[in-house]
Structure 1
């Protein structure tokens, strides 16, 4: 149910040359594994283009993403991070999210 709800408010972020270039940097700077650097670079690129007022990145990988440097970077985009799907779902059920003012990145 949680994943179904998240899929209704999600969109696919295409991997571009710009994102792949950032991947190399994030692997080095943040010590991220390649797959996590791809996710993070995609999130940051998407946030830089998003016009939504409220943003939320939902990812269960707390080992990689529960990182103060990552949180600081996401904070600059007014993006909260939820490291479990259930807290992310509670945001999707909130009144502001149902009005499509929240950008969810899963």
Structure 2
């Protein structure tokens, strides 16, 4: 489940709870008019809608510029080798192998952006990446800075 889905589900639960509480408060005669305002409910709904719209825009921008990495026999063979060397668990070995086996790997300075520092920030992994002018970045903020700097300089 993605962060957006979790956040939307959480906001929907909060919204339901708020609506239920407003309904309960509305049973009190002196508070019934104030409880009829839907400002909180509208704000939560708007927040969910805007988050979904922002996610949609980011997804469209990514899909417009992204390329898919191959997951073929060569990639799986390389992943198996990485896994057997004990450098990474199999799912992470598949991710790394798909990057290494990409035809463009090493052609230009690049970065491997992955928040899994526990497995990927390992000398065996970083040496392979560094040998192809690829830098491991384990922070999305640092990744954005890296990409922004390369984009601004035209590299």
Q: TM-score, normalised by structure 1?
A: 0.77
Indicate whether 1:15 and 2:71 are aligned: yes
Indicate whether 1:54 and 2:119 are aligned: no
Partners of 1:19 and 1:98 in 2: how far apart? 33
- Cα deviation, residue 9, structure 1: 4.3
Aligned to 1:104: none
User: What is the SS of the residue equivalent to 1:80?
Assistant: strand
Structure with the higher fraction of residues in helix conformation: 2
Greater relative contact order structure (CA < 8 Å, 6+ sep):
1
Q: TM-score, normalised by structure 2?
A: 0.55
- Cα RMSD for the two superposed structures: 2.3
Partners of 1:85 and 1:45 in 2: how far apart? 23
Aligned to 1:78: 133
Partners of 2:107 and 2:152 in 1: how far apart? 13
List alignment gaps of at least 5 residues for structure 1. Answer: 102-106
Partners of 1:21 and 1:66 in 2: how far apart? 22
Indicate whether 1:66 and 2:121 are aligned: yes
Structure with the higher fraction of residues in strand conformation: 1
Deviations 1:43-91 (A, max 9, x none): 1112xx2164211100000111010011111111011110111100011
Within the candidate set 73, 88, 96, 1:40 is matched to 96
Partners of 1:16 and 1:86 in 2: how far apart? 31
Runs of 4+ that moved beyond 4 A = none
